[in-house]
Amino acid sequence: MRINKITGVNPKFIKIDLKDTLATHSVFNEHKDASGVIHFVAHKAVGEAVDQPLKYYKNNFYSLLNTLEAQSKNGINNFIFSSSSATLYGIPDILLITEKNETQRPFSPYGNTKKVAEEILDDLIRSNKAFSAISLRYFNSIGAHESGEIGEPPNGIPNNLMPYITQTAVGIREKLMIYVNDYPTKDGTPIRDYIHIVDLAKAHVIAVERLLNKDQETALEFFNLGTGIGYSVLDVINAFEAVTNSKLNYEITGRRDGDVPQFYAATDLTKEKLGWTVQKGLDEIVSSSWNWEQNLRNETQ
Ligand code: WQD
Q: How many C-beta neighbours within 10 Å does residue 243 have?
A: 18
pLDDT at position 154 is 83
Residue minimizing CA distance to atom 36 of ligand 1: 160
Global confidence as pTM: 0.93
**3-class secondary structure, 171:** coil
Is the CB of residue 287 less than 8 Å from the CB of residue 196? Answer: no
Taken in order of first residue, the domains within the chain and their CATH numbers are: 2-300 (3.40.50.720)
Q: Could you tell me how far CA 83 lies from the centroid of its own chain?
A: 7
CA distance 44 to 105: 17
User: Residue with the nearest Cα to atom 5 of ligand 1?
Assistant: 140
Lining ligand 1 with CB less than 6 A are 44-46, 84-85, 87, 138, 140, 159-161, 164, 176-179, 190, 192, 233, 256, 259
Pocket test for ligand 1, best of 81, 87, 263 (most atoms within 8 A of CB): 87
Confidence of residue 223 (pLDDT cuts 50, 70, 90): very high
- Write the CB contacts of 265 (distance below 8 Å, at least 6 apart in sequence): 85, 96, 97, 137, 139, 193, 224, 225, 226, 227, 228
Distances (CA, A) of 192 to 44, 108, 242, 284: 16, 16, 19, 16
Q: What are the pLDDT digits (tens) for 225-274?
A: 999 999 999 999 999 999 999 999 999 999 887 677 888 888 999 999 99
- Residue 196 CB partners (closer than 8 Å, separation 6+): 141, 142, 143, 278, 279, 280, 281, 284, 285, 288
Distance between Cα 239 and ligand 1 center (Å): 17
The residue whose C-alpha atom lies closest to atom 23 belonging to ligand 1 is 84
Strands 231-232 vs 191-192: parallel, antiparallel or unpaired: antiparallel
Judge whether 110 counts as a catalytic residue: yes
| Active-site option among 57, 62, 89, 110 | 110
Q: pLDDT higher for 98 or 120?
A: 120
